[in-house]
Amino acid sequence: MARPWHSASPAEVAAELGVDPARGLSASEARARLERYGPNELGEDTRPGRLAILAEQFRDVLIWILVGAASISGLLLDEWIDAGVILAIVVLNAILGYVQEARAEDALARLKEMAAPLALVLRGGDRVTVPSADVVPGDVLVLEVGDRIA
């Protein structure tokens, strides 16, 4: 398809996906597409632990430049107040980065929990309830008020 899906007509999208909008996919075609494209799920990436998220905050070169500047300021120049301010900034940056990343990980976990567990699709002209992981490209979803989209 030359143009984006959202700007194509429903008939063009159906033709491109090889599906009859009135009947949906056949059960065998849905199985074949599930084999080809895989399940309709967010990736199950291994989530980093809290300690790994904290350690990640100190992997930036700029942080180590600031630590070096604090060391030089304190040990060589005897400017302990400047060194303390620089280290306080490094620690504050680490805390803020940690909190932000931890919240993002928690939000992603909540999004995965909110995903619709079941979907109503047309398969061979019949309405069939399938696990949302089994929804494939070309499935015709039957939506009702209040449904979560798989």
pLDDT tens, residue by residue, 12-48: 989 999 999 999 999 999 999 999 999 988 766 677 8
DSSP codes, 25-45 = B-HHHHHHHHHHH--S----P
Task: Sort 135 into a burial class: Cβ within 10 Å, 0-12 / 13-18 / 19+.
Answer: buried
pLDDT digits (tens, 9 = 90+) for 105-136: 888 888 777 766 888 999 999 999 999 889 99
What is the number of helices (H) and of strands (E) in the chain? 5, 3
Q: Rounded to two decimals, what is the model's pTM?
A: 0.54
CA atoms of 70 and 123, how far apart (whole Å):
66
